[in-house]
A and B are shown apart, each in its own frame.
Chain A
């Protein structure tokens, strides 16, 4: 599916240069659900952005479906982002002036899907994430969890093979986070490849493989048992409700 070899990334802001990634090597097979963990500033987002073709590595080789990404033009990269990759951001990155439906339509517009077909597919994607009722709301009229589900619908609407999520639950309360994880889990079960960055071990437990990044290097890369775990607080709330109900 994808293979990284000797990937480095150096940020050059005037005089200061930051080595965000030192030497990253791994490959991911189709259908995998990978969680990336690591302390803040260790280079997780940098790595995700390179995987998502939102940024280019400084050196090294990134092969996506056996194609060398470095050789692709900007226009070709745009097409890869559009058709091949669905990216979910921690901060949602929805366009505030557009409705949920219009936001989800964006990738379809740039894919050249028009008219009814476009509206149908966008609507379907929103229904799939349980937002059938909220299609015409603007992002500001939605809760964080709902906004993230719009973002997921947008990421999925072109049926990408690779879903990338950079701390998808990072800005959400535990309950909304749980809903998001259930959606991602479902997508993985349907055969989608997912790479997800998270801080939260409970969230990481949903993945079948855990990569730990430390200071721009991979410290640990192991398979694990996929366990659908509720974040601790939600478990507590559920218990409380049960106690209260009795």
Chain B
């Protein structure tokens, strides 16, 4: 008997059991879609974060406070010997031979009041090097100077979103005054919009001279980080060793600081993001599992229901092989349909999230293979295994089945 004939039986079987077919397909679709979308989100986040760190520049060393350094230079502590502070930054600037630029950074969240509204924003204390070190540019006005830094002038450079929010439209903020906390600052300029960079969105920040910030705003001397620009990417290892030696000399405690290169951060971040992706995939995996159990249920019930059909078919001359082929084709057709719809929906869902949620979503081939493979196996196994059992029965036994 021809295979085509059995395929035709299988397809008409699916047609005549629309609800069952629909539910089975739905189970596959949900599982596959969930996995594809979730993994796409995880992969997207990973690629964005990695890209952001890479965007910092490949010849960057970053010093951040270590576990013990933090404790030592708690609130109000002023430049005690073992802290990451401006003095350390100055020291590195003078002594590090392989460093081109040394850029200290501190930040705190505070209110910024303009003529229109007041908002809460990250007030970042930096030096004039910051602009070039981070590849930012000024849209309006000018960045502050070494002199401003030295005199602790109250100059603020607004991120573009901040400027937009606290100033009415059409007003040039440059030269106007804003209040950060209780302190009046003159707006020196507005940064060009750039969006996410590193872990911050530069558009949402306000840049001020770090000296002013420490004296007038933060009331502590702590730095968030010191960024060191190394002369040549090839010299990274030597530079790292040199900086490490300088830090040890100055701080005397390897736990007082953390020294990372940009590459270190990328790989650390990738590890974290992989865990994140795995977590999302795990959540999606649960829906895949539930979907699988759904398929299993429907298939098991339907085959039990259809033992009589198997009996009738065998009674009029169907061989075991033909029964199996029929159920196999049904299961494959259902799983495939579900898989294809699931892939399409998954890709579509990932696109929608990317488009409307502003997330990056990267559909990975692995997730497609995993999700479809799993649903396919479940559909196949539970479509065929009970049918296989039923097809072994003598026709009477199958016919007696109610």
Binding site for B on A (CB under 8 A): 49, 52, 54-56, 74-75, 78-79, 81-83, 87, 89, 93-95, 97-98, 106-107, 109-112, 114, 154, 158
Contacts and interface: CB of A to CB of B under 8 A. Distances in A.
B312 A93 contact: yes
B393 to A, nearest CB: 10
Contacts of A95: 309, 312-313
Contact of B316 (A55, A56, A81, A97): A81
Given A54-B395, A56-B394, A110 B316 contact: yes
Given A95-B309, A95-B312, A109-B1, A82 B317 contact: yes
A97 B308 CA distance: 13
B5 A114 contact: yes
Nearest to B15: A97
A95 B319 CA distance: 17
Interface residues of B, number: 26
A154 B13 CA distance: 19
B9 interface: yes
B315 A110 contact: no
A81 B399 contact: no
A94 B308 CA distance: 10
A78 B318 contact: yes
B16 A78 contact: no
A54 B394 contact: yes
Given A55-B397, A93-B308, A93-B312, 12 more contacts: A52-B315, A81-B316, A81-B317, A93-B399, A97-B13, A97-B17, A106-B313, A109-B1, A110-B316, A110-B322, A111-B317, A158-B317
Nearest to B308: A93
| 5 interchain residue pairs of minimum CB distance | A82-B317, A97-B16, A110-B317, A54-B395, A107-B316
Mostly helix, strand, loop or mixed at chain B's interface? helix
A110 B1 contact: yes
B396 interface: yes
Nearest to B16: A97
A142 to B, nearest CB: 16
A201 to B, nearest CB: 27
B1 A112 contact: yes
Contacts of A111: 1, 317
Contact of A54 (B16, B308, B399): B399
Nearest to B391: A74
A55 B395 CA distance: 7
A98 B397 CA distance: 22
B153 interface: no
A1 B399 CA distance: 26
Nearest to A93: B312
A173 to B, nearest CB: 24
10 contacts: A55-B394, A55-B397, A74-B320, A81-B315, A82-B317, A95-B312, A97-B13, A109-B1, A111-B317, A114-B5
Contact of B315 (A93, A98, A158): A93
